[in-house]
Amino acid sequence: MPARLPPYALAMLASYIHECCQLCGQAIDVRADLKMEHATQHAPFYHAPFYRTPLLCIYCHAQWADRLPIFAIRDDKQEMPLYAAAYYEVPLKRVMTVFKDKANVSSLMVLYHLMKYVRRPQGINADNAVLIPTPTTDSRLVERGFYPVLILTRFLSFLWQIPIWQGISRLDNAIHQRGLSRGERLQNVKHDFYLTGTLPTRHAILVDDVVTTGSTLLAMANAIWSEHATAKVHAVCVLHGREGIHLPIKGR
């Protein structure tokens, strides 16, 4: 079932009370009229305080949130749309690193704000779609101590009121992806993912924190398509690329 409350709900409520920008630290004197009907129309009315919590000031919001097109992750046979919340640029790059390395809650609040405005794929709902967090491995979980993508996916489940399905697992591949080309990344993860159950819905929404080349998400999608050829697979991430350096824009 969809998440009833977001992870770290008390931190969000504290931000709602104190009204301090989690990115620049300034007091939020002006509340922006930030439209996010794509999320709120699917949620119960009592979720409103979490949607309206001013996690960023109007100035940081205008600079970083709600401005990306839909990208496309492609190989020779398939194409998958990628919905990203913001570019992987400073200071958001640093925010993501601090969250993933130190489980920093203030950094998580910034990511929460960005995720409120990520585009929602058309036609999806709790009956025909599931959210699938990019799986981690036991060794990485021990090394890091927590599962960052699952926290972000639970927040997205709360926003969109779509259930989470953890029916994809990952082999414990020790090869790191950093610094590799797209082809090398895709080859490394090509056979890393496998389904542990039957996909329960027609739409699968893959969720990751940062997407660089899209190779990990494409490998996950191929694992789904190998057993469910007609499945509609979408991808969502918090951060991707940079201005002018990113995956192709969908439809181009």
Residue 45 has pLDDT above 70, yes or no: no
Q: What is the tens place of the pLDDT at every residue in 94-128?
A: 999 999 999 999 999 999 999 999 999 999 999 99
Residue range 155-174, pLDDT digits in tens:
999 999 999 999 999 988 65
pLDDT at 243 over 80: yes
How does residue 184 score in pLDDT terms, banded at 50, 70 and 90?
low
We report the CATH number of the domain holding residue 162 as 3.40.50
Same domain, 51 and 102: no
Please tell me the predicted confidence (pLDDT) of residue 69. 94
Work out how many domains the chain is built from and give that number. 2
Q: What is the pLDDT, as a whole number, of residue 23? A: 93
Q: Are residues 140 and 161 in the same domain?
A: yes
Q: Is residue 214 part of a domain?
A: yes
Whether the upstream peptide bond of residue 91 has omega within 30° of 0, thus cis, is yes
Residue range 182-202: mean pLDDT, rounded: 80
Nearest to 102 by CA among 153, 154, 56, 146: 146
The pLDDT of 211-231, averaged and rounded, is 95
Do 110 and 82 lie in one domain? The reply is yes
- Is pLDDT at 38 greater than 90 in this prediction? no
Residues 218, 128 share a domain = yes
Domain span at residue 190?
66-240
pTM: 0.89
For residue 16, name the pLDDT band (cuts at 50, 70, 90): confident
Residue 71 burial (C-beta neighbours within 10 Å; 0-12, 13-18, 19+): buried
